[in-house]
Amino acid sequence: MELRQLTYFVAVSEELSFSRAAEKCFISQSAISHQIARLERDLDTTLFERSTRAVTPTEAALRLLPLAQQMLGLKAMIYAAVHAPGSRIRLAANMMSL
């Protein structure tokens, strides 16, 4: 299981659409479908019932969603903890006319 798979899982859960979730995550619909299928294989469970008209989370998905959201929140906290507050990049340009 990878954090990006959890990111995609949360997006699909929120959007109830693989296409809209893919747009939200800036990846192709086939890529997000592939990653969700890998996550389902890793967890040995079906997370979404898929039809031509709808994507419906399974009971397993509903149990996983709050934990996945918590993991992604922890990821954000980890990144914030290791970056010094107030650190920034400064760019300067000297414009000369000839």
Domain regions of the chain by residue span: 3-82
Q: What value does the mean pLDDT take over residues 87-95? A: 66
Please calculate the CA angle 91-95-98 and round it to the nearest 5 degrees: 155
**Per-residue pLDDT tens over the stretch 55-69:** 999 999 999 999 999
When pLDDT is cut at 50, 70 and 90, the band that residue 28 belongs to is very high
CA–CA distance, 14 with 8 (Å, rounded to integer): 10
Is the entire prediction scored with pTM above 0.85? no
Q: pLDDT above 70 covers what percent of the chain?
A: 85
Buried b (16+ CB within 10 A) or exposed e, 81-95: eeeeeeeeeeeeeee
Q: What is the CATH number of domain 3-82?
A: 1.10.10.10
